[in-house]
Amino acid sequence: MLFSEQNFRRGEFSGSIEVICGSMFSGKTEELIRRLKRAQIAKLNVEIFKPKTDTRYDETAVVSHDLNSIPSTPVDSSSAILLLGTNTQVVGIDEAQFFDDELPEVCNKLALKGIRVVIAGLDMDFLGKPFGPMPALMAIAEHVTKVNAVCMQCGSPAVYSYRTVASEAKVLLGEKESYEPRCRACYHALG
């Protein structure tokens, strides 16, 4: 399924929520960008948001590890997403794990206004625990897509983000210098 369709109910567009989740390097951002660019090609009004704190590759754009990118608006809370333009038809949100607990309700309000909401985020933190608002978003979504990276130890499908540096902080921005994707067996072999 290409997720480019709008739902119809009684002849009017109705909104929906799609979640793309997985470990680091699993292709979440690429899949988000792919769906949003298709919506732009379909001439829909698309607005894209990311947390202001995520400055890893760019202050404003959403950028994948392969440096595919799409312009976005950095916001410091989920409620700011509700201030979008009145003719917005599709909303994209990247790094959803870093948002506050109000994000699911914000997305629900957008979907009830007829907006298609596409969200990407880490389902688990480096400890293998559910990350921020992601479990609640997955619960209320019409569609959940879980993507896998490649385990850097054995080449199997990877669902965990293993932290390779000494830090217990839940939030530690980084890429390959600080994390590697691992499969279940390699992650639990404790390094």
Ligand X SMILES: Cc1cn([C@H]2C[C@H](O)[C@@H](COP(=O)(O)O)O2)c(=O)[nH]c1=O
Ligand Y SMILES: Nc1ncnc2c1ncn2[C@@H]1O[C@H](COP(=O)(O)OP(=O)(O)O)[C@@H](O)[C@H]1O
Residue listed under structure tokens 């309000």: 109
Task: Clarify whether 95 is annotated catalytic.
Answer: yes
Instruction: Please answer whether residues 70 and 33 qualify as being in contact, where contact means their C-beta atoms are separated by less than 8 angstroms.
Output: yes
CB of 148: closest distance to Zn ion in angstroms? 11
Q: Residue 113 is encoded by which pair of tokens?
A: 């206004």
Q: Which of ligand X, ligand Y, Zn ion, none binds 186 (CB below 5-8 Å, type-dependent)?
A: Zn ion
> Which residues, numbered 95-154, are part of the site for ligand X (CB under 6 A)?
122, 125-126
Q: Which of ligand X, Zn ion, ligand Y, none binds 181 (CB below 5-8 Å, type-dependent)?
A: ligand Y
Give 11's DSSP letter. Answer: T
Question: Is 23 marked as binding a ligand?
Answer: yes
Q: Which of Zn ion, ligand X, ligand Y, none binds 183 (CB below 5-8 Å, type-dependent)?
A: Zn ion
Residues in touch with Zn ion (CB under 5 A): 151, 153-154, 156, 183, 186
Number of Cβ atoms within 10 Å of the Cβ of 14? 15
As a whole number of angstroms, the distance between CA 123 and CA 106 comes to 19
Number of Cβ atoms within 10 Å of the Cβ of 167? 11
> Which residues, numbered 131-160, are part of the site for ligand Y (CB under 6 A)?
149-150, 152
Could you give the string, one character per residue 25-64, with x where binding to ligand Y holds by CB under 6 A and - elsewhere?
xxxxxx---------------------------------x
Residue (of 116, 102, 126) closest to 180 by Cα position: 126
Give 170's DSSP letter. Answer: S
| Cβ within 8 Å of residue 70, ≥6 positions away | 33, 36, 37, 48, 61, 62, 92
Q: Which residues bind ligand X (CB under 6 A)?
A: 24-25, 28-29, 56, 122, 125-126, 161, 170-174, 179
Q: Which residues are marked as active site?
A: 95
Q: Which residues bind ligand Y (CB under 6 A)?
A: 22, 24-30, 64-66, 149-150, 152, 181
